[in-house]
Amino acid sequence: MKNKLLVVGSMNMDIVQKVQAFPLPGETIHGGETAFYPGGKGANQAVAAARAGGDCAMVGAVGSDPFADTLIGGLEEQGVQAGLVRKKSGASGIAIITVNGEGENTIVLSPGANGLLSANDALSALPDWSGVYAVLLQNEIPPETTDEVIRAAAAAGVRVYLNPAPARELSNELMAFIDTLIVNETEAAAVSGMRVTDSDSAKKAAERLALMGAGTVIVTLGDKGCICRDGNGGMLEVPAFRASPVDTTAAGDTFIGAYAAAMSRGSGTRESLVFASAAAALAVGKAGAQASIPSEEEIVAFIGLAKTNGISL
């Protein structure tokens, strides 16, 4: 059975600084608690997939600094297979994250070893594609590495799930290899060239992205839920679960990993979107990236409670 998930992407140490309000240019302010959390969009998605019940392996790179073993160990503790992670000379990736009193965040990313992950590194590390359901990619490793992995996966008949974050222009040739494109409002606007502010504009952007070649297009809209344009032109809309934000850092990555895990075990698209939305709602209620990602049991219980309370899913 093809149910394995491979994540090819970034691994970072997130240094999270709490503040009451973001500083203005040139302003010095007093901060609150400082914390260190394993993160990176690739690693976050891998942990989310594994914790949501997926069979997941990580392909990435860490440096030769003290953070390297912490990052690899963090994956393994969460059930992610980390034997394909490469070690590079120099620093591991670092993200400096500032979180304000409303749970909003700003992020400064230093790629470190992530920027040294070559296409040859990634493709030589990959096992036989035969048992792989999908490969998950983002944009925090060199673009040529991402592009070559996309082409190789497509050639092997493996689904490609792409989250183009940070957003960059994607050619129609590359888009044709993408089974599922998952974007938030900002990413949808950047890739489609259309402003996205609500579900109606998200649907129009999704149609544009499908015309560019993507198969299924999912646009996440935060507390407004998400929309999904499937490969046959059908449109689904799933509302968000109510949440009290503490830290939104890994909400999108949690959604993607949980969605991929649900799809890999044969759940339908709507069921998988509901599962992913519940996972994201739980994630924003805790601080940290991987530390905030819920387990499959927590997600299922959360959905069950929503149904008990009469919420239509």
Cα dihedral across residues 48, 50, 136, 210: positive or negative: negative
Clarify whether 253 is annotated catalytic. Answer: yes
- Closest by alpha carbon to 190, among 207, 171, 169? 169
Higher per-residue pLDDT: 125 or 172: 172
Residue written as token pair 């050619």 = 171
277-295 tens-digit pLDDT: 999 999 998 877 788 899 9
Helices (H) and strands (E) in the chain, counts: 10, 14
Q: Is the pLDDT of residue 154 over 90?
A: yes
197-218 tens-digit pLDDT: 999 999 999 999 999 999 999 9
Phi, psi of 217 (to 5 degrees): -125, 125
Residues 211 and 188: beta-carbon distance below 8 Å:
no
Fold of 4-308: UDP-N-acetylmuramoyl-L-alanine:D-glutamate ligase (3.40.1190)
Query: Percent of the chain at pLDDT above 90?
Result: 80
Angle at 86 between CA 85 and CA 92, to 5 degrees: 95
- Closest by alpha carbon to 226, among 215, 244, 238, 234? 238
Q: Is the pLDDT of residue 270 over 90?
A: yes
Whole-angstrom Cα distance, residue 43 to residue 289? 10
pTM passes above 0.85: yes
55-87 tens-digit pLDDT: 999 999 999 999 999 999 999 999 999 999 999
In the set 121, 179, 247, 253, the catalytic residue is 253
